[in-house]
Structure 1
């Protein structure tokens, strides 16, 4: 008998997570991390590596936001393709960021090998203009010795990126949370931060005394820290998932149309795909994370016409993510002792981890190459 999941449940959810307790008394730590998604949990581990006492809190559950509801792609680089990042940041800084994301891929494989697959990835051009842009990207990457190949295959023409990865984002975050608990961190769910300052974070009416705070929130960061509302906008990204397919094989995750559409096939044959935010852009600038019929219909057409599978759709879901103007996400001290990270423009699985590491060092007043990289130093 097939069980229908609750509405707006991601394909990654198994229902086997044991909930963490809420904050129920005054607490103290060196640093309080607000948000237990991928970037927040990376910050927790970086803080532990640096010898800090850490408390992490989340208003919902571990990876309950975009960290556990995204497409599960760990693609090297920043949100803009490499040649565009070079134009925006300068050659040396863009190259350093690209190499840093490749190093983060290696850390992911080491920390949670059971949840990560090295699949390579594809960027497929949908028209001549995008094809020309692929060539520009290829030439820039090849000149700097970065892994890239021209591609012409069943999916279409474009670029292949050796070493890129796909993974189960929800399972990986929960694995990181368990590892952090074993290392001595205190983590709490169902604990919304109602007041955030460098010396005290209040959750569920209880103070958490700390030397600094790291706010690791992507979607709705503009609500958590209103002073960022003019720089960070929250958007809705929508996805769907299928039962295991027997009529289509996609060995590599794939980007199309400048990354607006993306798809990966899981080891069991199921597909997870998303996109088409720009088709209803005005409606998708929202804090509402509920799927809509209009975009879900486009995703279903993409599944049938491009992926070409008749596999039954089992999951439809959405997530809130943060967008910023420009090339880099927010990674800065927005209040005295309060470091904010977010606004990854839909590509936070690696860049968010880098921001988490940089913010952890900054919160402790320690040095870090990534911190200088974000600052442009």
Structure 2
């Protein structure tokens, strides 16, 4: 079993690329980030082709926990220390704005429900206080929280999404605009002026590789700067015995869960409890982590409903916690390494890459550059 709860199988497959095609830009990867890059390019009148090794959203974009969170993977107080107040604030502001945009664009799929950060112990509760102080000092909404989930923070600008529905909806919108998108067309070789797949070739001026997990395999230049990890989840049948009105981040975000509209529970976590075993490109669930998830489900969440789904996804992590957005070869851009929070940062990064390919400026790229420059001076 390795099927996410998000997959309702209601999808008309895209064609496979066969033979040569020509485009100004080829985007590799049809997840949330790749599709965002394609939308930006189409809006600007650029001839674009998108290729995907499996199906739309088959990677982490359609297999994640369904959280939409402002900021980056590190909590805001940590980001301020690492990246400086100006860059941290710019990043947080843009991600919050993107959540609101997505919720307005697809209200049936993206909801600004708010989210909870719940402390697992006294030390984390103290860090929650620092997190709250940093957000308030910079003018962002947040509140201390005490409730049935525990103690911590309420982050009102965050929310949830049905991630696979969202990427499929974006792909369908592009399909209606006659955008050339191809599934089951893995990029086997990237050479100057071309992306070679199993049965075809995209001849192009520029390439955007918008892939999170296994990015370092496609672009070996990034080995050591991005590393693939496996994130595991499970889901249950409807669980009326519990009620979680908001998604929850727990134990520094290592565990996370939400209750879906039908009352089922989607729960992920315990990557850190399996050591090097989870630093892998293998996206099959394991007995060890799945056992820890189920124990937490029963003992901590008090859920009695049966487990119906178990799955895993490959996700890219960077040593400094900052996502990759750069030209790694002439006219070849890489976007990835979202450190487990790609639903928003990935979209912004890919949209920025599309603008940079077109020779335009990007507010997101400038904020990341400022963050890296400040981190480098520490």
TM interval, shorter chain, is over 0.9
Structure 2 unaligned segments of length 5 or more: list them.
374-378
**Helix, strand or coil: the match of 1:171?**
helix
- Quote the residue 2:172 is aligned against: 178
Structure 1 unaligned segments of length 5 or more: list them.
1-6
- Quote the residue 1:359 is aligned against: 353
User: Matches of 1:32 and 1:111 in 2, distance apart?
Assistant: 26
- Quote the residue 2:215 is aligned against: 221
User: Matches of 2:74 and 2:280 in 1, distance apart?
Assistant: 22
CA contact (8 A) 1:231 1:325 kept: yes
| Number of residues of Structure 1 aligned to a counterpart in Structure 2 | 371
**Helix, strand or coil: the match of 1:114?**
coil
Following superposition of structure 1 onto structure 2, how do residues 49-64 of structure 1 map, counting pairs within 5 Å? Answer: 49-64=43-58
Cα shift readout 1:108-136 (whole Å, capped 9, x = no counterpart): 11332221122110000010100000000
Cα shift readout 1:70-129 (whole Å, capped 9, x = no counterpart): 000001111110010011111000000000001111221133222112211000001010
**Helix, strand or coil: the match of 1:135?**
helix
User: Matches of 1:283 and 1:231 in 2, distance apart?
Assistant: 19
User: Matches of 2:104 and 2:23 in 1, distance apart?
Assistant: 28
Q: Is 1:34 equivalent to 2:20 in the alignment?
A: no
Q: Is 1:164 equivalent to 2:158 in the alignment?
A: yes
Cα shift readout 1:294-334 (whole Å, capped 9, x = no counterpart): 11011001111121110110000000000001131110001
- Quote the residue 1:74 is aligned against: 68
User: Matches of 1:176 and 1:37 in 2, distance apart?
Assistant: 10
TM-score by length of 1: 0.96
- Quote the residue 2:376 is aligned against: none
Which of 106, 110, 113 is 1:112 aligned to?
A: 106
CA contact (8 A) 2:321 2:339 kept: no
User: Matches of 2:296 and 2:98 in 1, distance apart?
Assistant: 31
Cα shift readout 1:186-239 (whole Å, capped 9, x = no counterpart): 100000111114521112242211121100000000111111111111100000
- Quote the residue 2:318 is aligned against: 324
- Runs (4 or more) in structure 1 with deviation over 3 Å come to none
User: Matches of 1:370 and 1:324 in 2, distance apart?
Assistant: 18
Which of 12, 32, 36 is 1:18 aligned to?
A: 12
TM-score by length of 2: 0.96
User: Matches of 1:347 and 1:21 in 2, distance apart?
Assistant: 29
- Quote the residue 1:143 is aligned against: 137
- Quote the residue 2:284 is aligned against: 290
User: Matches of 1:91 and 1:198 in 2, distance apart?
Assistant: 40
Following superposition of structure 1 onto structure 2, how do residues 136-285 of structure 1 map, counting pairs within 5 Å? Answer: 136-197=130-191, 199-285=193-279
